[in-house]
Chain A
Amino acid sequence: MTQWRPPLPLVGAWLGLLALLALTVTLAYVPLGTGNSVVALSIGTIKAGLVAAIFMELRHRSGLTLIFAGAGLFWLGILLWLGLMDFMTRT
């Protein structure tokens, strides 16, 4: 289908994800209060972005594919947002 591309970006993205994972795990042990959630979620967002752009190859797509993939990420956001809302406001 698409022309052959060197897998360099894939390997890079993989290494990047591993590094981010290590960072998440490390930061989880640093007491930051609510900062911990913020940091963890931000890193998670970056990871999701990497996966979407590079593994899902969204950076090479356009139009409808982007809309549908974007919708998927958007609804994932809704799941996380409403789910977290419960989690954060539980007594």
Chain B
Amino acid sequence: MSEKNYLTTDYTLKSWFLTTDHKRIAILYFASLIFFFFIGGAAATAIRIELATPQADLVSSDIYNRLFTMHGIIMVWFFLIPSIPNTLGNFIVPLMIGARDLAFPRLNLMSWYIFMLGGCTTLFAIFAGGVDTGWTFYTPFSTLYSNSYVIVAAAGVFIAGFSSILTGLNFIVTIHRLRAPGLTWYRLPLFLWSLYATSVILVLATPVLAITLILIATERFFGVGIFDPRIGGDPLLFQHLFWFYSHPAVYIMILPGMGVINELVSCYSRKQVFGYKFVAWASLAIAAVGFLVWGHHMFVSGQSLVASLVFSFMSFIVAVPSAIKVFNWTATLHKGSIHFDAPMLYALAFIGLFTIGGLTGLFLACLAFDVHATDTYFVVAHFHYIMVGGMVTAYFGGLHYWWPKMTGRHYSEYWARTAAVLIFFGFNLTFFPQFILGAEGMPRRYHVYPPEFQVWNVLSSGGAAILAVAYLMPLLYLGYSAFFGARASANPWNATGLEWQTSSPPPEFNFTTQPVVTRAPYQYNGDFQAEPQNA
């Protein structure tokens, strides 16, 4: 390799751990997230093995509670929320807007350290004795009864929240201030619109979570009556505060995924995104309306009927912008010249799975149906379709799409397609039976169940085994390609977007000359020639 790129500028450990280069920080996040994904995945594996039989033959109920709590906490806070923004976003945002770096490079590094501090604190809680409250830390259980490491785990989540806020802030300022000449708002790639909307939620919602966790600690330590009715508190207050953050947080998890899908769908069908402005504003609409629906998690909690009706109605409205996106992707595909490369397979899988997840969300938003389905596997299936089928799939899609840019190498297309198909198959086999289980009434968070539910559970556990293998495959072929893959050119997919106008991997400060934008985004005209890849 002749010229130095961001990977080869320096090889020392110090140059990595004190870097302010957004691309290296993205790699740091990437490595950390793989680590957390594995821990969360290990817990999931144990859960599915336990559920393969109706009896408790693997773990006790106490351990089971700790397992699903650990799974939920790690996956939500230490994988899904930071996944696309902090790895792909960190890497791509400055490149996409033609900047040298994010607006606050040192703040960016600090965010990673804060994130790791939060992650380690939570891991400590988990391994020191575990937490059994579920990832939602519901009171009064978490403040009065649970004698596990609730405070330590909550402190970890609290710390990680600051990392979220700082990253959101960094993205907002970067997108406002550092766009290349000519890159007007309506020329921004849709990935940036979705990250912008995500950042707004991060900045506005995360503080509420932080306050809520502090209140838990206050009640637990000092016995101040905040949530406990016996000392003057209101137990529902916790759920209001928690879901005021956590419902918007589900959009923190899915909006970046939607952004990735826009890039993939238009690149591999060689067409402009249909209804660009609608898709762009739909992101902001989701961010805004997402703040009005949190009460749909509280239909059976004892909140007033008036509140339930209002929240039910609002929940239907939030589905509208999501649906706009799905329709626009479909319309983009229509009459496109579609290329089924691995990233596109992930994108297509995303569209299907997200649609199922979103539609079942509407079922749950119906007050009457939700009373039947709350706390059953129907809910579990709903959010896994969106968060795993949607977000994790989008993450893999984006990772494959930008992999040549990040590493300068091509992965094996054959293995990548195989893994994509296997993930789709394994995912559906794992989670579709759970809709049926839920509809039949199997409650969530139980480790023993009546034998008549076993058939569906065995299918689900079998699917999980396939899914586990499928998720491991990219680790192998991507890992291999990072060292031995064929060299990638600057723009292997012949894609639009500024990130493809610099070499792969990019030099330390991204561009040797300042790029200038003169066209609307996604000006594809059918010309696709992927480079030959090693099989």
Q: List chain A positions with a Cβ less than 8 A from chain B.
A: 64, 68, 71-72, 75, 78-79, 82-83, 85-91
Contacts and interface: CB of A to CB of B under 8 A. Distances in A.
Interface stretch (B101-109, B132-140, B303-311, B394-402): B303-311
A19 B237 CA distance: 27
B304 A90 contact: yes
A91 B306 CA distance: 10
Query: Which of A64, A82, A86, A90 has the largest count of B CB atoms less than 10 A from its CB?
Result: A86
A36 B479 CA distance: 64
Given A82-B295, A91-B305, 10 more contacts: A75-B204, A79-B241, A82-B294, A82-B310, A82-B311, A85-B307, A86-B303, A87-B236, A87-B304, A89-B306
A90 B241 CA distance: 17
Contacts of A90: 302-304
A86 B310 CA distance: 10
Interface of B: 172, 176, 200, 203-205, 208, 234, 236-237, 240-241, 244, 291-292, 294-295, 298, 302-307, 310-311
B291 A86 contact: no
Nearest to B208: A79
Nearest to A79: B244
Query: Which of A64, A88, A90, A91 has the largest count of B CB atoms less than 10 A from its CB?
Result: A90
21 contacts: A72-B203, A72-B204, A75-B205, A75-B291, A78-B292, A79-B241, A79-B244, A82-B294, A82-B310, A82-B311, A83-B237, A85-B306, A85-B307, A85-B310, A86-B240, A86-B298, A86-B306, A87-B236, A89-B305, A90-B302, A91-B305
A61 to B, nearest CB: 14
A86 B304 contact: yes
B176 A64 contact: yes
Given A64-B176, A72-B204, A82 B304 contact: no
Nearest to B303: A86
Given A85-B307, A85-B310, A78 B291 contact: yes
Contacts of B311: 82
The 4 A-B pairs at the shortest CB distance, nearest first, are namely A86-B307, A89-B304, A89-B306, A90-B304
A64 B196 CA distance: 14
Contact of B204 (A64, A71, A87, A89): A71
B415 to A, nearest CB: 45
A87 B234 CA distance: 10
A39 B203 CA distance: 30
Nearest to B205: A75
Contacts of B291: 75, 78-79
A90 B291 CA distance: 21
Contacts of B205: 75
B300 to A, nearest CB: 13
Nearest to B200: A71
Nearest to B169: A68
A31 B34 CA distance: 58
Contacts of A91: 304-305
Nearest to A90: B304
Query: Which of B176, B237, B303 has the largest count of A CB atoms less than 10 A from its CB?
Result: B303
A79 B172 CA distance: 23
A85 B311 CA distance: 11
A1 to B, nearest CB: 14
B292 A86 contact: no
A44 to B, nearest CB: 15
Nearest to B248: A75
Nearest to A78: B291
B417 to A, nearest CB: 43
A91 B237 CA distance: 16
A39 B302 CA distance: 27
Contacts of A89: 304-307
B161 to A, nearest CB: 15
Nearest to A72: B204
A85 B292 CA distance: 12
Given A68-B203, A78-B291, A86 B208 contact: no
Contacts of B234: 87
B244 A86 contact: no
Contacts of B305: 89, 91
A68 B310 CA distance: 27
A53 B292 CA distance: 26
A13 B382 CA distance: 49
Contact of A86 (B172, B236, B241): B236
A17 B310 CA distance: 35
A34 B203 CA distance: 34
Nearest to B173: A64
A83 B292 contact: no
A35 B311 CA distance: 27
Contacts of A68: 172, 203
A75 B204 CA distance: 8
Contacts of A83: 237, 240, 244
Contact of B307 (A75, A79, A82): A82
Nearest to B240: A83
Nearest to B176: A64
Query: Which of B176, B203, B304, B310 has the largest count of A CB atoms less than 10 A from its CB?
Result: B304
A83 B302 CA distance: 13
A85 B313 CA distance: 15
Contacts of B310: 82, 85
A64 B303 CA distance: 37
A79 B244 CA distance: 7
A66 to B, nearest CB: 14
Given A64-B176, A91-B304, A86 B295 contact: yes
B292 A82 contact: yes
A35 to B, nearest CB: 20
